[in-house]
Amino acid sequence: MFETRGIPFILLDIACLILAGLPLAAFNLGKIKPYQRGFFCNDESISYPFHSSTVTSTVLYTMGFTLPICSMIIGECLSVYLNCVKSKSFCNSYVACIYKAIGTFLFGAAMSQSLTDIAKYSIGRLRPHFLDVCRPDWMQINCTGGAYIEDFVCNGDSTKVNEGRCSRSRIGHPCTNGCPALDGRVARKLYLQARMQAEWARLLRPTLQFFLIAASVYTGLSRVSDYKHHWSDVLAGLIQGAIVALLVVFCVSDFFKKKVEPQEAAEIPHTTLQETPTNGNHYENPN
Protein backbone atom coordinates (compact mmCIF):
# COMPACT_ATOMS: atom_id res chain seq x y z
CA MET A 1 0.00 0.00 0.00
CA PHE A 2 2.52 2.61 1.15
CA GLU A 3 5.41 2.36 -1.24
CA THR A 4 8.17 4.91 -1.65
CA ARG A 5 9.31 4.21 -5.17
CA GLY A 6 8.68 7.71 -6.46
CA ILE A 7 6.54 10.82 -6.29
CA PRO A 8 3.55 9.25 -8.13
CA PHE A 9 3.38 6.42 -5.58
CA ILE A 10 3.57 8.89 -2.69
CA LEU A 11 0.77 10.98 -4.18
CA LEU A 12 -1.32 7.84 -4.63
CA ASP A 13 -0.77 6.92 -0.98
CA ILE A 14 -1.82 10.41 0.14
CA ALA A 15 -4.93 10.21 -2.03
CA CYS A 16 -5.88 6.84 -0.48
CA LEU A 17 -5.34 8.27 3.01
CA ILE A 18 -7.58 11.24 2.21
CA LEU A 19 -10.29 8.97 0.83
CA ALA A 20 -10.15 6.76 3.94
CA GLY A 21 -10.65 9.81 6.15
CA LEU A 22 -13.21 11.53 3.93
CA PRO A 23 -16.28 10.40 5.93
CA LEU A 24 -14.57 11.58 9.13
CA ALA A 25 -13.92 15.02 7.64
CA ALA A 26 -17.41 15.25 6.12
CA PHE A 27 -19.20 14.53 9.40
CA ASN A 28 -17.05 16.78 11.58
CA LEU A 29 -16.04 19.66 9.34
CA GLY A 30 -19.44 19.72 7.67
CA LYS A 31 -21.15 20.20 11.05
CA ILE A 32 -23.57 17.39 10.24
CA LYS A 33 -25.99 16.62 13.05
CA PRO A 34 -26.49 13.00 14.13
CA TYR A 35 -29.79 11.24 13.60
CA GLN A 36 -32.45 12.82 15.83
CA ARG A 37 -33.64 9.80 17.79
CA GLY A 38 -36.43 10.00 20.34
CA PHE A 39 -36.74 8.33 23.73
CA PHE A 40 -39.13 6.69 26.16
CA CYS A 41 -39.94 8.68 29.28
CA ASN A 42 -39.30 5.67 31.52
CA ASP A 43 -36.00 4.73 29.84
CA GLU A 44 -33.53 4.53 32.74
CA SER A 45 -30.59 3.73 30.45
CA ILE A 46 -30.35 7.40 29.36
CA SER A 47 -31.15 8.95 32.74
CA TYR A 48 -27.67 8.86 34.30
CA PRO A 49 -25.88 12.04 35.42
CA PHE A 50 -23.19 13.70 33.31
CA HIS A 51 -19.64 13.04 34.58
CA SER A 52 -16.27 14.25 33.37
CA SER A 53 -14.11 11.65 31.63
CA THR A 54 -11.71 9.55 33.69
CA VAL A 55 -9.43 9.20 30.67
CA THR A 56 -9.21 12.69 29.20
CA SER A 57 -8.90 13.52 25.52
CA THR A 58 -5.30 14.64 26.02
CA VAL A 59 -4.30 11.29 27.47
CA LEU A 60 -6.25 9.42 24.80
CA TYR A 61 -4.62 11.36 21.95
CA THR A 62 -1.19 10.82 23.47
CA MET A 63 -1.76 7.08 23.83
CA GLY A 64 -3.36 6.84 20.41
CA PHE A 65 -0.94 8.86 18.30
CA THR A 66 2.26 9.96 20.02
CA LEU A 67 3.30 6.64 21.54
CA PRO A 68 2.74 4.45 18.45
CA ILE A 69 4.42 6.93 16.12
CA CYS A 70 7.45 7.30 18.42
CA SER A 71 7.71 3.55 18.93
CA MET A 72 7.52 2.92 15.18
CA ILE A 73 10.22 5.50 14.45
CA ILE A 74 12.55 3.91 17.01
CA GLY A 75 11.66 0.37 15.94
CA GLU A 76 12.14 1.00 12.21
CA CYS A 77 15.43 2.83 12.70
CA LEU A 78 16.73 0.01 14.89
CA SER A 79 15.54 -2.62 12.41
CA VAL A 80 17.25 -0.90 9.48
CA TYR A 81 20.44 -0.42 11.49
CA LEU A 82 20.60 -4.10 12.45
CA ASN A 83 20.01 -5.12 8.83
CA CYS A 84 22.83 -2.87 7.73
CA VAL A 85 25.17 -4.41 10.28
CA LYS A 86 24.13 -7.92 9.29
CA SER A 87 24.45 -7.45 5.54
CA LYS A 88 25.88 -4.44 3.81
CA SER A 89 24.13 -5.44 0.59
CA PHE A 90 20.69 -5.44 2.24
CA CYS A 91 20.11 -2.00 3.74
CA ASN A 92 16.86 -0.08 3.29
CA SER A 93 16.43 3.65 3.71
CA TYR A 94 15.52 4.86 7.18
CA VAL A 95 13.03 7.38 5.76
CA ALA A 96 11.37 4.78 3.53
CA CYS A 97 10.78 2.31 6.38
CA ILE A 98 9.47 5.00 8.74
CA TYR A 99 7.22 6.33 5.98
CA LYS A 100 5.65 2.95 5.34
CA ALA A 101 5.15 2.15 9.04
CA ILE A 102 3.59 5.49 10.01
CA GLY A 103 1.62 5.69 6.76
CA THR A 104 0.08 2.30 7.43
CA PHE A 105 -0.83 3.33 10.96
CA LEU A 106 -2.48 6.60 9.86
CA PHE A 107 -4.39 4.80 7.10
CA GLY A 108 -5.81 2.33 9.61
CA ALA A 109 -6.69 5.11 12.05
CA ALA A 110 -8.52 7.11 9.36
CA MET A 111 -10.41 4.05 8.15
CA SER A 112 -11.45 2.98 11.65
CA GLN A 113 -12.61 6.43 12.74
CA SER A 114 -14.55 6.89 9.49
CA LEU A 115 -16.42 3.64 10.14
CA THR A 116 -17.11 4.76 13.69
CA ASP A 117 -18.50 8.14 12.66
CA ILE A 118 -20.66 6.60 9.95
CA ALA A 119 -22.27 4.39 12.60
CA LYS A 120 -22.52 7.21 15.16
CA TYR A 121 -24.23 9.72 12.93
CA SER A 122 -26.43 7.20 11.16
CA ILE A 123 -27.78 5.47 14.28
CA GLY A 124 -27.79 8.40 16.71
CA ARG A 125 -28.06 6.20 19.79
CA LEU A 126 -28.50 8.31 22.91
CA ARG A 127 -25.78 8.27 25.53
CA PRO A 128 -26.51 7.19 29.11
CA HIS A 129 -26.35 10.84 30.25
CA PHE A 130 -28.49 12.22 27.40
CA LEU A 131 -31.44 13.46 29.49
CA ASP A 132 -29.08 15.22 31.89
CA VAL A 133 -27.39 17.25 29.12
CA CYS A 134 -30.57 17.66 27.06
CA ARG A 135 -32.72 19.04 29.89
CA PRO A 136 -36.03 18.84 28.01
CA ASP A 137 -38.99 20.88 29.16
CA TRP A 138 -41.05 18.12 30.80
CA MET A 139 -44.05 20.43 31.01
CA GLN A 140 -44.28 20.28 27.20
CA ILE A 141 -43.92 16.48 27.04
CA ASN A 142 -46.77 14.03 27.48
CA CYS A 143 -45.34 10.92 29.16
CA THR A 144 -48.69 9.24 29.70
CA GLY A 145 -48.38 5.47 29.37
CA GLY A 146 -44.65 5.55 28.72
CA ALA A 147 -45.06 7.01 25.25
CA TYR A 148 -42.19 7.29 22.76
CA ILE A 149 -41.23 10.98 22.55
CA GLU A 150 -39.94 12.37 19.26
CA ASP A 151 -41.13 15.98 19.40
CA PHE A 152 -39.07 17.65 22.12
CA VAL A 153 -36.65 20.55 22.53
CA CYS A 154 -33.36 20.35 24.45
CA ASN A 155 -32.52 23.33 26.64
CA GLY A 156 -28.99 22.22 27.46
CA ASP A 157 -25.69 23.08 25.80
CA SER A 158 -25.99 22.35 22.07
CA THR A 159 -22.49 20.85 21.82
CA LYS A 160 -23.11 18.42 24.67
CA VAL A 161 -26.52 17.57 23.26
CA ASN A 162 -25.03 16.65 19.88
CA GLU A 163 -22.40 14.56 21.62
CA GLY A 164 -25.13 12.95 23.69
CA ARG A 165 -26.65 11.61 20.49
CA CYS A 166 -23.47 9.75 19.54
CA SER A 167 -23.16 6.74 21.80
CA ARG A 168 -21.60 4.40 19.22
CA SER A 169 -18.06 4.07 20.51
CA ARG A 170 -14.65 2.83 19.49
CA ILE A 171 -13.36 3.65 22.94
CA GLY A 172 -13.20 7.22 21.78
CA HIS A 173 -14.45 10.44 23.27
CA PRO A 174 -17.24 12.59 21.80
CA CYS A 175 -18.32 12.64 18.15
CA THR A 176 -15.50 14.96 17.17
CA ASN A 177 -12.79 12.72 18.56
CA GLY A 178 -10.64 10.98 15.96
CA CYS A 179 -8.19 9.26 18.26
CA PRO A 180 -7.45 5.61 17.45
CA ALA A 181 -7.63 3.95 20.84
CA LEU A 182 -8.00 0.19 20.62
CA ASP A 183 -6.91 -0.30 17.03
CA GLY A 184 -3.83 1.82 17.76
CA ARG A 185 -2.92 -0.35 20.74
CA VAL A 186 -3.62 -3.59 18.89
CA ALA A 187 -1.47 -2.34 16.02
CA ARG A 188 1.33 -1.58 18.48
CA LYS A 189 0.93 -5.03 20.02
CA LEU A 190 1.30 -6.67 16.61
CA TYR A 191 4.14 -4.33 15.74
CA LEU A 192 6.00 -5.43 18.85
CA GLN A 193 5.31 -9.04 17.89
CA ALA A 194 6.88 -8.47 14.48
CA ARG A 195 9.89 -6.43 15.54
CA MET A 196 10.86 -7.78 18.99
CA GLN A 197 12.02 -11.23 17.90
CA ALA A 198 15.27 -11.31 19.87
CA GLU A 199 15.81 -13.95 22.54
CA TRP A 200 16.14 -11.35 25.30
CA ALA A 201 12.58 -10.11 24.50
CA ARG A 202 10.96 -13.50 25.16
CA LEU A 203 9.13 -12.21 28.26
CA LEU A 204 9.46 -8.46 27.70
CA ARG A 205 7.39 -8.60 24.49
CA PRO A 206 4.27 -10.27 26.01
CA THR A 207 4.57 -8.04 29.07
CA LEU A 208 4.39 -4.88 26.97
CA GLN A 209 1.57 -6.37 24.91
CA PHE A 210 -0.39 -7.20 28.06
CA PHE A 211 -0.23 -3.62 29.33
CA LEU A 212 -1.31 -2.26 25.94
CA ILE A 213 -4.41 -4.46 25.89
CA ALA A 214 -5.08 -3.76 29.59
CA ALA A 215 -4.98 -0.01 28.89
CA SER A 216 -7.52 -0.47 26.08
CA VAL A 217 -9.88 -2.48 28.27
CA TYR A 218 -9.56 0.01 31.13
CA THR A 219 -10.33 2.91 28.81
CA GLY A 220 -13.43 1.14 27.55
CA LEU A 221 -14.64 0.28 31.05
CA SER A 222 -14.09 3.86 32.18
CA ARG A 223 -16.39 5.04 29.39
CA VAL A 224 -19.12 2.84 30.83
CA SER A 225 -18.55 3.88 34.44
CA ASP A 226 -18.49 7.57 33.41
CA TYR A 227 -21.88 7.08 31.69
CA LYS A 228 -20.41 8.13 28.35
CA HIS A 229 -21.35 4.97 26.44
CA HIS A 230 -23.45 1.87 26.82
CA TRP A 231 -21.54 -1.34 27.45
CA SER A 232 -22.75 -2.81 24.17
CA ASP A 233 -21.34 0.17 22.25
CA VAL A 234 -17.96 -0.24 23.92
CA LEU A 235 -17.96 -3.96 23.13
CA ALA A 236 -18.75 -3.22 19.49
CA GLY A 237 -15.94 -0.66 19.47
CA LEU A 238 -13.50 -3.21 20.87
CA ILE A 239 -14.38 -5.69 18.14
CA GLN A 240 -14.23 -3.11 15.37
CA GLY A 241 -10.89 -1.73 16.52
CA ALA A 242 -9.35 -5.19 16.72
CA ILE A 243 -10.63 -6.22 13.28
CA VAL A 244 -9.39 -3.04 11.59
CA ALA A 245 -5.99 -3.36 13.26
CA LEU A 246 -5.62 -6.98 12.17
CA LEU A 247 -6.63 -6.21 8.58
CA VAL A 248 -4.25 -3.27 8.32
CA VAL A 249 -1.30 -5.05 9.89
CA PHE A 250 -1.61 -8.29 7.90
CA CYS A 251 -3.08 -7.02 4.62
CA VAL A 252 -1.56 -3.54 4.24
CA SER A 253 1.70 -3.45 6.17
CA ASP A 254 4.77 -5.61 5.63
CA PHE A 255 5.54 -6.14 9.31
CA PHE A 256 5.16 -9.91 9.06
CA LYS A 257 6.49 -10.33 5.54
CA LYS A 258 9.84 -12.06 5.40
CA LYS A 259 12.52 -10.02 3.74
CA VAL A 260 14.46 -11.95 1.13
CA GLU A 261 18.09 -11.00 1.11
CA PRO A 262 19.80 -11.00 -2.28
CA GLN A 263 22.18 -13.91 -2.70
CA GLU A 264 25.33 -13.78 -4.74
CA ALA A 265 25.43 -16.16 -7.67
CA ALA A 266 27.66 -19.11 -6.93
CA GLU A 267 30.57 -19.61 -9.32
CA ILE A 268 30.28 -22.82 -11.35
CA PRO A 269 33.68 -24.49 -11.70
CA HIS A 270 34.73 -25.08 -15.31
CA THR A 271 36.21 -28.50 -16.11
CA THR A 272 37.85 -29.89 -19.21
CA LEU A 273 37.53 -33.32 -20.70
CA GLN A 274 41.07 -34.16 -19.64
CA GLU A 275 40.32 -33.08 -16.02
CA THR A 276 37.22 -35.25 -15.71
CA PRO A 277 38.05 -38.81 -14.73
CA THR A 278 35.98 -41.73 -16.01
CA ASN A 279 36.11 -44.65 -13.59
CA GLY A 280 39.59 -43.60 -12.64
CA ASN A 281 40.91 -43.78 -16.26
CA HIS A 282 41.47 -41.04 -18.77
CA TYR A 283 39.79 -41.30 -22.14
CA GLU A 284 42.25 -42.33 -24.81
CA ASN A 285 41.91 -41.83 -28.51
CA PRO A 286 42.04 -45.24 -30.28
CA ASN A 287 43.74 -43.61 -33.26
Q: Catalytic positions, please?
A: 173, 229
Strand 39-40 relative to strand 148-149, pairing: antiparallel
Do residues 128 and 228 touch, judged by C-beta distance below 8 A?
A: yes
| H runs (alpha helix) in 135-272 | 158-164, 182-195, 204-225, 231-247
- Residue 202 half-sphere exposure, CB side, CA atoms within 13 Å? 2
CA pair distance 240, 29, nearest whole angstrom: 24
**How many residues make up the chain in this entry?**
287
Question: What is the spatial distance between Cα 117 and Cα 178, in angstroms, rounded to a whole number?
Answer: 9
- Angle formed at CA 61 by CA 60 and CA 62, multiple of 5 degrees: 90
